[in-house]
Amino acid sequence: MLKKEPIIRLKNQNKVFLVGFFLILAVIAWSLARPFFLQDPEKENEELKINEEILRAPVISLEEFSAKIKNSEKVSIFDLREAGEFSKGHLAGAMNFPSGAGLTERIAELGIEKTANLFVMNEGNNVFETAAAANALISAGYINTKYLRGGVSDLRAGGYTLVSDGKSPGDQSKIKKITVEKIAAELSSGDELIQFLDVRSQAMFDSGHIPKAMNLPLSLIEKDQKGISPGKKVIVYGGTEEEASRAAVILFDLNFFNIFVLDGGLEAWKKADGKFE
């Protein structure tokens, strides 16, 4: 009996090994077969639709997009990010349509031509969103619509100028103010090096403004800065000091650094008997 014990023990060990081996094989087989048994038809169809939407949408690379901007081609840019993210930094002239809501209808209201170059973008991490928006615009007849590959994150990484709307905490450091007294002292030696910029509406500007002031409404600053002189001290004022500050931040982001906000606005100007026409 004593001689048989090692043999019995060996047989038991072999049985344990075989059982363990088959259990491992069973686990591996189940892992491989599980996707086929647990397929969700609805989820599979949804993934298929997403892939089809992305493959169907025309895309433009950052390099191609850059070339169009450098060539001053007329483009319309639609940013689908939430308003808070858009306000922190966006391409100059871009319009904000969070999640693409009402995009097609709004473009129709703007009177944009069906053959215009339209570009859709978001942060870059949701290709389906931009692809779906591009396809919807193409279906509506805007045949030259594309979405920007890589989105705003690639623009940022590529060193592109992104414009803030002046509402972020860090924007305060971009604002410089100048008092009426300081302006008067500088004007006493001539106004050749000073430019006043009125960012109110055309109607408000026509009702009265500082002499020789240039009118460029706040809503148009991102699209048109041709009349602003980089060689002059530009003094900005608006309907409110907040409006003027927002304009100053936008101009700072657009690389105009000799910009000053009229401290106290038009009220301070009038109280100091500044000229008004």
Mean pLDDT across the stretch 77-82? 96
More confident residue, 200 or 170: 200
Handedness of CA 163, 165, 171, 177 (dihedral sign): positive
Give the mean model confidence (pLDDT) for residues 66-95. Answer: 92
Instruction: Determine the average pLDDT of the residues in 62-91.
Output: 92
Q: Please, what is the average pLDDT of the chain?
A: 88
pLDDT for position 4: 53
Q: By C-alpha distance, which of 133, 159, 141 is closest to 77? A: 133
Strand 194-198 with 59-60, pairing: unpaired
Mean per-residue pLDDT, 245-269: 95
Q: Which of 157, 154, 161 is nearest to 70 (CA)?
A: 161
Structural domains of the chain in order of their starting residue, each with its CATH number:
52-157 (3.40.250.10), 169-271 (3.40.250.10)
pLDDT at position 1 is 47
On the question of pLDDT at 156 being above 60, the answer is yes
Q: Which residue in 60, 95, 63 sits closest to 77, CA to CA?
A: 95
How far, in Å, are 37, 134, 138 from residue 145 at the CA level?
41, 6, 6
The answer to whether 268 and 180 are in contact (CB under 8 A) is: yes
Phi/psi at 40 (5° precision): -105, 105
pLDDT at 12: 61
φ and ψ of 147, to 5 deg: -110, 145
- Return the pLDDT at 13: 60
Q: Which residue has the higher pLDDT, 229 or 5?
A: 229
Cβ proximity of 239 and 145 under 8 Å: no
In this prediction, residue 189 has a pLDDT band, given cuts at 50, 70 and 90, of confident
Sequence-ordered alpha helix ranges (H) in 57-173:
62-70, 83-88, 103-110, 127-139, 151-157
- The rounded Cα 58 to chain-centroid distance in angstroms is 20
Q: Which amino acid is at 235?
A: I
pTM equals 0.74
